[in-house]
Amino acid sequence: MPEEIKQLVEEYRGGKLSRREFIQKAVVLTGSLVAATTLIDTLGSTYAAQVDPKDPGLTSKDVEFKGPGGTISGYLTEPKAGGKHPAVIVIHENGGLTDHIRDVARRFAKEGFVALAPDFLSRKGGTEKLNPKGGGLSNIRELAPEANVAEDVGAAVAYLKTLPEVGNVGLTGFCWGGQQAFNAATQVKGLKAVVVYYGRTPNPPELIEKIEAPVMAHYGGEDKPISDNAPATAEKMKEYHKQFTYKIYPGAKHAFNNDTNADRYNPEAAKEAWAKTVDFFKTNLKG
């Protein structure tokens, strides 16, 4: 795939282009409307999961729970083994609740967590309605404003607390979801740990004062200006006496954990970040 088209695909998947804008630019690069529309349709291709949806060691299912804006759909996966488990809420990327995010949830379940991946597009009809072919939604911020996401995270915490097998609750998010996780941490009570994957700092940064849980953040070295702002974020967290640890992974791009995107996926960075994430949650959610 030529570099110009690769860059165009990255911009679309990153939510920087609408479908119409993508097609207009792709027509110029490919010289054909048919080729352009075929290209965008392939972006929702089948995903090979790391953890089988029917993994015999897990119980995985679609769920619904009540939120301030109505019913929230989601995906719940947990170890079949009995007893109490810590829980992790997973905030999806700007494509909505995709097979990839369900797989990420199952990866947490394989590590011994109850994992809940809500569909934060539920208020507008859900991911299947709004984004049936996948790809990034350029209007995700209008479809799921920060205030609504934070409210729905709070509802997810409340729902998990009704499950007898759930102990302490943590929160993570990726890309758009990383920013939403960081922001939700300034508003939602009851969180015991937060992990941010390449997400922007809460705006204004003074909101950091309201964070209760320790925070870990992962940034791609090539993901500027987000990674460039990490030291300032660390200083602000220190100013408000908040626990914060982060790493910038050299050579890694935005969305380096997303193994559905060959142009961005960085297996070395993803593996290290995942190990740190699991250890961080196990340490802070125990008890």
- What positions carry a catalytic annotation? 175, 223, 254
CA-CA-CA-CA torsion sign (185, 186, 190, 193) = positive
Adjacent-strand bridge partners of 65:
72
Beta strands 85-91 and 114-118 are parallel
CA distance 75 to 117: 5
Token pair belonging to 52: 């089988």
Beta strands 114-118 and 166-174 are unpaired
* Residue whose pair of structure tokens reads 């970040």 in the numeric block: 273
Adjacent-strand bridge partners of 220:
249
Question: Is the distance from CB of 184 to CB of 148 less than 8 angstroms?
Answer: no
Question: Is the distance from CB of 162 to CB of 112 less than 8 angstroms?
Answer: no
